[in-house]
Amino acid sequence: MSDNQQPAADPLANLFSLARDYLPELLDKLELLPPGAEQYVDSHVLATKAKAGDQIMVQSPSGYWHHGIMIGMQPDAHGQEQYYVVDVWGENKESSTISQRPYNDFVAGKVGFARAHYGQKNVLPRAKSKALALYLVDVARQRGFQYNVLERNCEHFATWCRIGRNTSHQVCEVHKLLSDMLPITVVITTVTVAAVASVGFLGGSLGSVATAMGGSGPAAEQQRGGTPPPSGKKRG
């Protein structure tokens, strides 16, 4: 990214910016980072602490956290080694897709830096998370990708790769906020739409690849015909 080029606008960032205009005090009270996440003072420390396959997060000035999967050091077009990340990103909702890009672009203009931590029973091996992320870059390139803030945002993608579950802590937190403010009919509609996420990211393709890679855990078990994982519960 050139010095005078502005970071691309992300659909989730636009939503948070709009919400902050109307609900600034309430949004400030939300816990938008996944439980157990470790924060760092700057992007350099995050890059040195994160390992390939880790789920990393950067905070936009509007307050929301953008998620991606660290790929690690790779040579660029000029043969220079630099960090790369796979994430859901685009100029707008229509152009958002899963792609690999330089870490420096991922962190440009951000004000917070963190890495997700999950229990050993829930997390996939880092090598498998990295492989899933790179595989989905090819899937999105071949089949296309339809961004949806409730079902297929950057956090859904990253958590699918890291723990095999299609969930977004930020969406759950915002839903909890709305459920305290809106009529029950609106809340039920919101829950119904969000429940589509339990079907699986990119129409279940992650379940297929987890099985193909000899994986275990929720995604692979569901694909093999076992008991499906519970849908993401709202954190209360």
* pLDDT value at residue 70: 98
Q: What is the pLDDT of residue 86?
A: 98
Low-confidence ranges of the chain (pLDDT < 50): 1-3, 5-7, 184-185, 187-200, 203-236
Confidence (pLDDT) at 114: 97
* Structure confidence by residue, pLDDT tens digits, 158-195: 999 999 988 888 888 777 766 666 554 454 444 444 44
Give the pLDDT confidence score for residue 185 in this predicted structure.
Answer: 47
CA-CA distance, 188 to 194, in Å (whole number)?
10
pLDDT at position 14 is 60
So what's the pLDDT on residue 32?
79
Closest by CA position to 57, among listed 163, 164, 166, 170? 170
Q: Looking at beta carbons, which pairs linking 6-9 to residues 24 or more positions away fall under 8 Å?
A: 6/109, 7/105, 7/108, 7/109, 8/89, 8/90, 8/91, 9/91, 9/92
Q: Is the whole-model pTM more than 0.75?
A: no
**Per the structure block, which two tokens stand in for 38?**
């470790």
